Amino acid sequence: MQVNVKTEVGSDPRVTECLQLVRGFAETVFTHVEEITGKKLANAPKATDKLEAIIRDRIEGMVNDHVSKAVGTMVAAHPQGAAVSYTLRYPERRRHLLRMMACSFSDLVATREDGLRHAYPKILLEGFEQWTNKVLGGAYAADANQRALDALGQATTDENAESDRLVWIRLTSDAQTARTYYHVAVPLLTYFSYDFEKTRNEMQRIISAASGAAVALTAEQWSVLFYRMFMPLFRRMSLRDEQQRIDEQFGEGTAVKLARVYSEYKKWMKANRISEPKDDFNPCAPAKV
C-alpha cells in the first residue's frame, strides 16, 4: 500500500549544502572548459541554474517517494480495526496549535452558499493564527504547537476523526488533554483581562488585516467565536479545584482575572443585545488546516 505524501525538503540545510557543492562543481567545469578553449561560455550561468533545479526536483521526488512508501507500510501494518494515530492519519499537518483551537469552530467555517447564519470564510484562520502567535509570543507558541500535537493525538480516535466538534469535546473534557487546552486558553484570556474591548478590537483588526479586509466579523460572529473557544474553560472555572490548579500553574490571581474576563464578556453581550450562543451540532464540512 502506498500513500501519497508531500514533504518540504528545499529548506533542509543538507539539501542546500548538496546543491551548493553541485553548483560549485559545475562552475569549476565550465571555467576549465573556458580556459582550454579560450572561449567564454555565455550560457554557463543558465546551465548551472537548470542543473540545480533538476537535481533539487530529483531529491524532492526521491524523498517523497520513500516517505510515501514508509507511511503506506505503517498503515498496512496496522491490524484491521486497530486505531491509526493522528500523526499517521494527517502527516502533512504542521500547524497543530491552530488545528487544536480551530476544532472549536471549524464546523462554522464555510462558504456563504451553505446558508449558515454564522459562517466564517476559511481565510479567517490565517488572522486568528497571527493573533494567537502575537499574544502567546514565539517561544511559547512553538511549545504550545508541540503540546497541541500530543493532545490531538490523544483526543483523536477512529470514531471522532471526521468530526472536529467531537474531537474538541474530548480534548476539553479529558483531564490530560485539557491541560494543553489550558496552556493556550488561559494566556489568551488573561490578555483580555487588561482591557476587554481594546483586546477584542485588536483581535478583529488582525483577523481583518490578515484577510485583506475580506473578513469583517460582526459583533454576533465574534461572540460565537469567543464562546466556542473559551466556554469550556469558563465552565471548569466554577470548580474550586480547577481555580487552584490554574493559580498554581499560571500564578496567584489568574483565576480571578479569568472570572473578570467572563464578567466583561457578559456585560459586552448585554450592551450589544447579543444572546449567549447555543452549542449547535449541525456541522458543515470541516476546514482542513
> pLDDT tens per residue, the chain (289 residues)?
444 545 555 556 666 667 677 777 777 877 878 788 887 877 777 777 777 777 777 776 666 666 555 555 555 555 554 567 788 888 888 899 999 999 999 888 865 554 555 578 888 999 999 999 999 998 999 999 999 999 999 999 888 888 898 999 999 999 889 999 999 999 999 999 999 999 999 999 999 998 888 788 889 989 999 999 999 999 988 888 889 989 998 999 999 999 999 999 999 999 999 987 765 543 333 333 3
Q: Check residue 289 and give its pLDDT.
A: 39
> Which residues, including other chains, have CB under 8 Å from residue 141's CB and lie 6 or more apart?
97, 132, 133
Long-range contacts of 167-173 (CB under 8 A, 24+ apart): 167/103, 168/103, 168/104, 171/100, 171/103, 172/232, 172/233, 173/232
Using the 8-state DSSP alphabet, how is residue 174 labeled?
A: S
pLDDT number for residue 12: 60
Burial class of residue 197 in the structure, from the number of CB atoms within 10 Å of its CB (0-12 exposed, 13-18 middle, 19+ buried): exposed
- List of residues 6+ apart from 20 with CB closer than 8 A: none
pTM over 0.85: no
Q: Which three cell numbers stand for residue 116?
A: 449558515
